[in-house]
Structure 1
Amino acid sequence: MLNSAVEERQIEKSLGKRKFRKNGDIRDVLVVALPMLLSMSFDTLMTFVDRLFLSKLGPAEMNASLGAGGMNLVLTTFFTGMISYTTAMVAQRFGAGKKDECASVFMQAVFLSIVCVPLLYLTIPLGHAIFDVQGVAADQLVHQKTYFNILMFGGVVSLIRNAAPCFFSGIGETKVIMKAAFVGMLVNIACNYLLIYGCGPIPRLGVAGAAYGTVIGNIVSTVMLFAVYFSKRNNARFGTRVHLKVNLDQMKELLKRGLPSGVEMFLNMSAFQLLILLFHGLGPVEATAASVMFNWDMVAYVPLMGLEVASTSLVGRYVGAKQAAAATRSTYSGVKVGWGYSLIIGVLLVFLPGVLADIFRPDSTAAAEALAIFETARPMSIFMLRFATLYIFVEVLLVIYCGALRGAGDTVWVMIACGIMNWFNAIALYIAAYVLKMPAHYAWIIVVCVYGTAPVLFFLRWKGGKWRRHVLDKM
């Protein structure tokens, strides 16, 4: 811990030359978190627009994009989760004033991303095999495989694109990430419209067009981030054009600390994908109701991942600076910011669920069967959306404490706890819907109630302070 005002001012300067009333307060969190919230919102909107445009073609196309997109995340999250620990490594070095190591750490993440691409491609047959036993309608299965294949073969883009923001989130300059995500979103929306529906010489590609639009948007945002990374300003500060070699020690550290994060995210997304598959296996009506609910849940949840990244960045920097009190303060400030955001989302889910559901209504030109499925699913989706309000408030606690513990290096415990929690949710849904034969919307209540018990464990882990002893003894 620091014992003098002079040392405190030196640490504040090393943390980005910003002066706050108290390190780790709400304003401190907002500086890093707000741009990340917005950038994650833009990323979410890219996916949301895919499904919104496809919903106008029919429920099969919309449901296919949700199922295929979820499977793509399952198979990529091990790699992206492992690489994302770069944020904590960069933040810790930045907080300790070791700026010359920040760029080197980031390049290890880029190298690792490239190495992981062939391994990612080897998982494509696994995704197809799971789709074949899923039990979805034949028309949805065809669309699902098409969307999935394009996203997976664009995996080299998604992995490098995931690594690109880690440097900027680690040093706290998240506005760069926000701007790149915004431009990528605009490109994605334009490409989606042109490629899904066709325009002039551009053919109508439907589901395939949505996938291509996502890949193109990701390419644009990635190029923007690397252009800023290699700029004269960042080269002068961090030597970004100099540190281009493999550093085995840093690579080993990234693998050692990042592997638990990768396993954690894989287990989390696998359990979430299983939830989707279980709902879709109940029939087209239940699949449509769940798709509407999960689409809006992702709109609400993914921006919270921006708070998680901000929590990892801030805690990592304060741990690097040996400011445990500020790390704790920033975590509690993050919870307050997250609950403020969730309150806004909760109002929409409680009072406007019908409006939210009707956004996914198929066009009047769609097949009569598609329109009938949506009308039957609409009351169920409204019920599920309203109950998802509690789900969102619980997610705030999880993302903040997961991010904080990860930033402090407590990645193994987070991996185990998150894996158990998410798979318990999937098991609870299976028992409720398939064993007890409960209607889908009542089974959703069971899932939310089981999920709601998890934050207590994460709070107690953080409050217990084991992360503080574990990390500070090694700094």
Structure 2
Amino acid sequence: MIDEFTGHIEKTPKIKFRKNGDIKDVLVVALPMLLSMSFDTLMTFVDRLFLSRLGPAEMNASLGAGGMNLVLITFFTGMISYTTAMVAQRFGAGKKQECASVFMQAVYLSLACVPFLYLMIPLGHLIFEQQGLAADQLAYQKLYFNILMIGGIVSLVRNAAPCFFSGIGETKIIMKAAFAGMLVNIVCNYFLIFGVGPCPRLGVAGAAYGTVTGNIVSTVMLFVVYFGKRYHSLYGTRSNLKFNLAQVKELLKRGMPSGVEMFLNMAAFQLMILLFHGLGAEAATAASIMFNWDMVAYVPLMGLEVASTSLVGRYVGAKSAAAASRSTYSGLKVGWGYSLLIAVLLIFLPGVLADVFRPDVTASAEAIAIFESARPMGIFMLRFATLYIFVEVLLVVYCGALRGAGDTVWVMCACAVMNWFNTIALYVAAYIIKVPPHYAWIIVVCVYSTAPVLFYLRWKSGKWRRHVLDKN
């Protein structure tokens, strides 16, 4: 090919991989992503931790509003996140200049989605009003939701920003940007939620502003590095700025199934939270405790999913199906090691985990009474979530691998059926059979645990290999 910077004719370089998908290969990409996702999780966790000091209503409102924000934004973020696979496939094929071009199409598409996101704000309000929430939680929930949605332009671009780096397997910069964003978020939260020095006491609104500010910082860091000298010399990041209709069409074709999948998954998950909240303040608080810690455990696994997508996409681009398979099984081993650590905490320290969300002594007597009543139920649900975490490892690795291979439509359908079946199971158990909330949680986990069999069989069948043959 002709190098546009030197004018010399060069052969397309062959990409050399580390030991073709072994554990070390996976860890190089996955560990920084696990840490970066952990930092993102900590941002949200600190929001809810600080708000829990004000009372259960504030904490529950942040969970409900944050979940609704994710539901309404995940179609766009899910669609755009397929950029990782597209970049990885081109990187594996040695087409470095196209990596930068594909990434810029993702940025343009992110900006184009912003008006549609803003039009969904009234829908969120309507859903909140149908929940039968207490007046104080409803007000907090709308306020938190509005700020996150208005800051949606930042969220969409921030979602696209790491895709280039994860696609080429250089994930350390993503980790550093996420760490910086987390620190900014924590400081802003403390000052804005509680009111320190000249900063006013904003409560729920302060938590939302802190999140948006942290997202801005991490996004700016990624773009500064992307347009820097090193990546411009390797990928032409400042030169590949043109709109490319063919690449946008490819991103829409491959990415829309991922977007629909994530939307349906988050909608089912949010409905599950709403169903628990509809069972009363005690059930809502217990579920909030459990789901907050589940988020801490699960979101880092999304880093492993991104790593699986990146590695499999790269090997698919290099037409190495055997290496793609090895990287998938290596990913499972890494995920199970992580889950063992989480299991120790959930089984042996659930009381300590629950007490993290204990209201401050200055909270109302009613808020403290609700927490004390919900605490035993929350501990029970945390312990049983151990099985839930092990199942999630199987799902994220196989989903990421299948997406990286381009098998996005099947993943979309399978995930949608799985998550909505779980939500229906919760509704039947809690609202029709009327079992106690913690027993309804057992039913949900047991139903959820059957899903990985489908994904394993799909991967084992080798049908995804046809996408290896379809690549240029």
- Whether TM-score is above 0.5 comes out as yes
Q: How far off its partner does 1:287 sit? A: 0.2
Correspondence for 2:362: 365
2:317–2:468 contact (8 Å) kept in structure 1: no
Correspondence for 1:330: 327
Q: Distance in 2 between matches of 1:473 and 1:37?
A: 31
1:134–1:281 contact (8 Å) kept in structure 2: yes
2:158–2:219 contact (8 Å) kept in structure 1: yes
Q: Distance in 2 between matches of 1:437 and 1:214?
A: 38
Name the SS of the counterpart of 1:305 in structure 2: helix
Q: How far off its partner does 1:469 sit? A: 1.7
Which deviations, in whole Å up to 9, do the C-alpha atoms of 1:62-121 show, x marking residues without a partner? Answer: 000000000000000000000000000000000000001000000000000000000000
Q: Distance in 1 between matches of 2:135 and 2:437?
A: 22
2:123 is the alignment partner of 1:126? yes
> Unmatched 5+ residue regions in structure 2?
1-10
Q: Distance in 2 between matches of 1:219 and 1:234?
A: 21
- Residues 241-260 of structure 1: matches in 2 within 5 Å? 241-260=238-257
Correspondence for 1:5: none
Q: Distance in 1 between matches of 2:439 and 2:291?
A: 15
- Residues 334-349 of structure 1: matches in 2 within 5 Å? 334-349=331-346
Q: How far off its partner does 1:368 sit? A: 0.1
Instruction: Give 1:87's match in structure 2, choosing from 79, 84, 87.
Output: 84
Q: Distance in 1 between matches of 2:470 and 2:280?
A: 54
Correspondence for 2:278: 281
- Residues 444-459 of structure 1: matches in 2 within 5 Å? 444-459=441-456
Name the SS of the counterpart of 2:279 in structure 1: coil
The amino acid of 1:72's aligned partner reads: N
- TM-score when scaled to structure 1? 0.96
Q: How many residues align?
A: 462
Instruction: Give 1:77's match in structure 2, choosing from 58, 61, 74.
Output: 74
Instruction: Give 2:161's match in structure 1, choosing from 126, 145, 164.
Output: 164
Instruction: Give 2:95's match in structure 1, choosing from 76, 81, 98.
Output: 98
Which deviations, in whole Å up to 9, do the C-alpha atoms of 1:131-182 show, x marking residues without a partner? Answer: 0001121111100000000000000000000000000000000000000000
2:387 is the alignment partner of 1:387? no
Instruction: Give 1:433's match in structure 2, choosing from 422, 430, 434.
Output: 430
Q: Distance in 2 between matches of 1:390 and 1:429?
A: 17
- TM-score when scaled to structure 2? 0.97
2:299 is the alignment partner of 1:311? no
Q: Distance in 2 between matches of 1:474 and 1:356?
A: 47
Q: Distance in 1 between matches of 2:212 and 2:31?
A: 25
2:229 is the alignment partner of 1:232? yes
Correspondence for 1:201: 198
1:14–1:94 contact (8 Å) kept in structure 2: no
Q: Distance in 1 between matches of 2:281 and 2:457?
A: 41
Instruction: Give 1:398's match in structure 2, choosing from 366, 379, 395.
Output: 395
The amino acid of 2:394's aligned partner reads: L
The percent identity for this pair of structures is 83
Name the SS of the counterpart of 1:428 in structure 2: helix
Correspondence for 1:6: none
Q: How far off its partner does 1:473 sit? A: 3.5
Q: Distance in 1 between matches of 2:48 and 2:465?
A: 43
Q: Distance in 1 between matches of 2:118 and 2:422?
A: 29
Correspondence for 2:189: 192
2:461 is the alignment partner of 1:464? yes
Instruction: Give 1:290's match in structure 2, choosing from 263, 280, 287.
Output: 287
Correspondence for 2:60: 63
Q: Distance in 2 between matches of 1:461 and 1:165?
A: 28
Q: Distance in 1 between matches of 2:306 and 2:260?
A: 17
Return structure 1 stretches of 4+ with deviation > 3 angstroms. Answer: none
> Unmatched 5+ residue regions in structure 1?
1-9
